[in-house]
Amino acid sequence: MAASGTQLRPRSLTVADAEALAALSQKLGGSETVAQWVAFFERPHAIAVGTIADGHIVGYAAGEVRTGFGLPRPVAWVEAFGIDLDHRGAGLGRTILGELLRRAAALGAAHVYTLVPVHDRVLAPFFRQLGFRDEPLSCLGCSL
């Protein structure tokens, strides 16, 4: 956990952070690569926010504002989120996600979506505590 009294402030993340983002994602069990992060930053309405401690990214939230899925207006999608295990429990995730959502609203989004694994015992409760609810959409997929 971050030292008591330490205030980690969110900042914009850029393509220059791709390597550090991939490293933290993989440390947390994710699979995002440097190339995937570089491609993410090439999107026109990509938003990435993170915090730095001791010269390293210790938390990030990334997503974008887009139209589609038959929705009448642009919406935000939270696509990637992670907090280093040593910095969990101090409100860092709420701070970072809050900043991401503020920026998405500034780009015209009035609603936000995300996907979490059905049986995830960490992310699902975290997002629910922040007001995310089940939506009248179904996630469908098939192998190619």
Write out pLDDT tens, residues 57-93: 999 999 999 987 778 889 999 999 999 999 999 899 9
Q: Is residue 5 included in any domain, yes or no?
A: no
Which value, to the nearest 10 degrees, does the dihedral of the CA atoms of residues 26, 32, 38, 44 take?
Answer: -130
Q: Is residue 134 included in any domain, yes or no?
A: no
Q: Is residue 18 included in any domain, yes or no?
A: yes
Number of domains in the chain: 1
Tell me what the pLDDT averaged over the chain comes to: 91
Query: What is the pTM (predicted TM-score) of this model?
Result: 0.89
Q: Which domain holds residue 114?
A: 11-129
Q: At 7, is the pLDDT very low, low, confident or very high (cuts 50, 70, 90)?
A: low
Specify the pLDDT at position 4: 38
Q: Is the pLDDT of residue 126 over 90?
A: yes
Q: At 18, is the pLDDT very low, low, confident or very high (cuts 50, 70, 90)?
A: very high
Q: Is residue 141 included in any domain, yes or no?
A: no
Q: What is the CATH number of the domain that holds 45?
A: 3.40.630.30
